[in-house]
Chain A
Amino acid sequence: MDWQGQKLVEHLMQILLVVFAVMAITMGYALGSFQTMLLIYASGVVITTLITVPNWPFFNRNPLKWLDPSEAEKHSKMQIVDSSSKKKISKK
């Protein structure tokens, strides 16, 4: 799951659960049935689990672009060179 996907999944989870909770208590109170309330909420939790817990392709639409290994190697070498040069400078 990419970064955008993680942000989306967290919001989705909270919003869905709150919506189901509000729906459960209003329906339960309106129908005067505690059991109805619990059933609505339980099914809400199951639906939310199915949507947000598995790693759906939907949450992987913004993959991180890593550098090629060869390019990364060059960069790391340059950094080492840089840091060593800095050290030399500081020693001087």
Chain B
Amino acid sequence: MHSFGYRANALLTFAVTLLALICAMSSLSDNLNSPSPSSHVKVLNINWFQKSTQGNDEVSMTMNISANLQSLFTWNTKQVFVFLAAEYETPQNSLNQVSLWDGIIPSKEHAKFWIHTTNKYRFTDQGSNLQGKEFNLTLHWHVMPKTGKMFADKIVMSGFSLPVEYR
């Protein structure tokens, strides 16, 4: 503590150590939040459903996605990444996950949304198993914090099925 440089160094080191501690505590404070998100998806129309030249089934559909993810936001939340996936079982794979739509929610004000959309990414099967297939639509999300641990969770919505015939 005898010189200017020594004092400046000691102060900086201690200040940064405390800053790390503060960040760790704000990350831990996220655990105090118990979110209660809700979501609802309605398949309005199967636009077309066919087998591609490669022999893989492909579907285009129009959906209505509504969700309220406001309770996921805390003071330490930077943004929330959310995606809707179709999940189904085939003889080949016990779990197929096809991302149909995604989005980034930048703030709590935008976390209660309602969107009318066709699938943003192609709903293609690995093979030809989609005729009359029952599938789940699952809303997955990743909560990205300003500092610390990232949280991920999902809501599974079941009871959707594809038509038996191509159209």
Contact = CB atoms under 8 A, between A and B. Distances in A.
B22 A10 contact: no
Q: Can you list the 3 inter-chain pairs with the closest CB atoms, starting with the nearest?
A: A6-B1, A32-B75, A21-B18
For the residues of B in contact with A, the DSSP-based class is helix
A13 B14 contact: yes
B26 A14 contact: no
A57 B10 CA distance: 20
A17 B1 contact: no
B167 interface: no
Interface residues of B, number: 20
Interface in A1-57: 1, 6-7, 9-10, 13-14, 17-18, 21, 24-25, 28-29, 31-34, 37, 41, 45, 48-49, 52-55
Given A17-B14, A48-B15, A41 B75 contact: no
A28 B22 CA distance: 10
Interface of B: 1-2, 4, 7-8, 10-11, 14-15, 18-19, 21-22, 25-26, 29, 74-76, 146
Contacts of B25: 25
